[in-house]
Amino acid sequence: DAMKSAELFKAQAHIFKQVFCFTNGASLKCAVQLGIPDAIDNHGKAMTLSELTDALPINPSKAPHIHRLMRILVTAGFFVEERLGNGKEEKANGYALTPSSRLLLKNKPLSLRASALTMLDPVTVKTWNALSEWFQNEDQTAFETAHGKNMWDFFAEDPGLSKKFNESMASDSQLVTEVLVTKCKFVFEGLTSMVDVGGGTGTVAGAIAKTFPSLRCTVFDLPHVVANLEPTENLDFVAGDMFGKIPPANAIFLKWVLHDWNDEDCVKILKNCKRAIPGKEKGGKVIIVDIIMETEKHDIDEFDYAKMCMDMEMLVLCNSKERTEKELAMLVSEAGFSGYKIFPVLGIRSLIEVYP
């Protein structure tokens, strides 16, 4: 009986831990909005609790609770506690940044701050709360169940939210871009023109254009996304729809596009890409950046878990998915391409070349 009750309490703790998983995200959002990572970064070294509370824009009556917020965030790996002082001097612990919280600093080139805040936005969270209802109704997406229209129409009608979404895409692009233009130059060398389909505000295309001055880059996105964006010497912005005609180029670039769409729509997009590029003998190709899901893997690591979470996010937002290599190969073949090559060089995402 003692054994049975121990098992029951362990099961109860497991349920509480999983049910309260949202606590990590909500606490992280709070820390970012209060500017905790930036306060520690500006301090230049580990901060004591009192130094931290003094630096934050909080009501003084709430200061005693900051240590509880920091405790959960330290446990989740966003901050680390360091012993301050040396020798015989007794000093309190101080909070320091970890590699994760360094990616959440404001105004840093590789910051994921905007991306994290968008994923934790009430609009997104409300969508998750509609998941069980969506499974039982006729709506195309859980986003539609929650908000009455699909995500793309919703963003198109709300300039503020659209701006936030584009900022989050740009923020998520920075790290990938850094690797693309330093470690993956071979993908772009020899190209004279490239169209970034669904390229948003041009974060990636702009960096590629800067790295390869002889490469003519075009960002091709919806009118409300590219309106008022300034072209540069070898970077243009063109409004349009990838389900219509895609501007011709040596190569088409699809970064986190296919995972937003079901198989049928992906085949349509890929067929339009194929029409826009020359044959393989002339160097035509489609360059894709997306997650490739693992199959038959039992030792799940942080990367795998992040991929599964992203796959669920795609289900909830777009009724789409992250694909296995087999699923990708099927799309590529159905769209009339001859082959592909996968380079797993971008963390949870891969760089994929597809050949006509």
Q: How many residues does the chain have?
A: 356
Q: Measured between alpha carbons, how far is 163 from 161 in angstroms, rounded to an integer? A: 5
Sign, CA torsion 270/272/276/281: positive
Burial environment of residue 203 by CB neighbours within 10 A (0 to 12, 13 to 18, 19 or more): buried
Q: Are 100 and 78 in contact (CB under 8 A)?
A: yes
DSSP 8-state assignment for residue 335: T
Q: Measured between alpha carbons, how far is 77 from 218 in angstroms, rounded to an integer? A: 40
Residues 6+ apart with CB under 8 A from 154: 123, 143, 147, 161
- Catalytic pick among 14, 43, 224, 259: 259
Residues 6+ apart with CB under 8 A from 196: 202, 204, 205, 208, 217, 218, 219, 220, 253, 255
Does 259 participate in catalysis according to the annotation? yes
By annotation, the residues acting in catalysis are 259
